[in-house]
């Protein structure tokens, strides 16, 4: 069985994979709905990495606000108010089911910015042993 460091590393690697797709798509002509989806996925995985490191049960949810709240309960210095995670949570579903969801480059770029902010907050709170 993997220890908490290996579990966190696994989640971080998956999140970084999502961000690789995001950067490639943003450098192209799109489609930017895919960027928004992968940003949501990256945030979800960074939050789950923190929960895994804290040896918490990983909930089967895509709700970023719920995951962020769980992380904040474990580390009260984690503040999320400046990020609108509800909007990014919606990207997980909108990409797959909303036939009118075709965001512009600026929306996708903002989603990446939020992903980067969550990544920084989480990585600051993990020891080097829990990072790839």
| Domains identified in the chain, total number | 1
**Any domain includes 115:** yes
Q: CATH code at 64?
A: 1.20.120.330
**Any domain includes 129:** no
pTM comes to 0.96
Whole-angstrom Cα distance, residue 38 to residue 41?
Answer: 5
Rg of the chain in Å (alpha carbons)? 14
**Any domain includes 130:** no
What is the longest distance spanned by two Cα atoms in the chain?
Answer: 44
Residue pLDDT tens, the chain, 132 long:
689 999 999 999 999 999 999 999 999 998 999 999 999 999 999 999 999 999 999 999 999 999 999 999 999 999 888 888 998 999 998 888 889 999 999 999 999 999 999 999 999 999 999 999
Provide the residue range defining the domain that includes 28.
4-124
**Any domain includes 44:** yes
């Amino acid at each position: 069985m993997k220890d908490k460091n290996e579990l966190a590393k696994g989640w971080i690697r998956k999140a970084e994979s999502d961000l690789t797709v995001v950067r490639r798509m943003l450098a192209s002509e799109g489609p930017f709905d895919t960027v928004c989806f992968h940003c949501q996925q990256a945030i979800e995985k960074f939050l789950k990495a923190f929960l895994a490191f804290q040896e918490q049960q990983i909930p089967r949810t895509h709700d970023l606000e719920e995951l962020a709240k769980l992380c904040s309960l474990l580390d009260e210095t984690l503040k999320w108010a400046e990020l609108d995670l509800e909007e990014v949570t919606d990207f997980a579903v909108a990409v797959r089911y909303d036939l009118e969801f075709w965001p512009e480059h600026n929306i996708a770029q903002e989603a990446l910015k939020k992903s980067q902010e969550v990544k920084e907050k989480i990585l600051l709170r993990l020891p080097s042993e829990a990072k790839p």
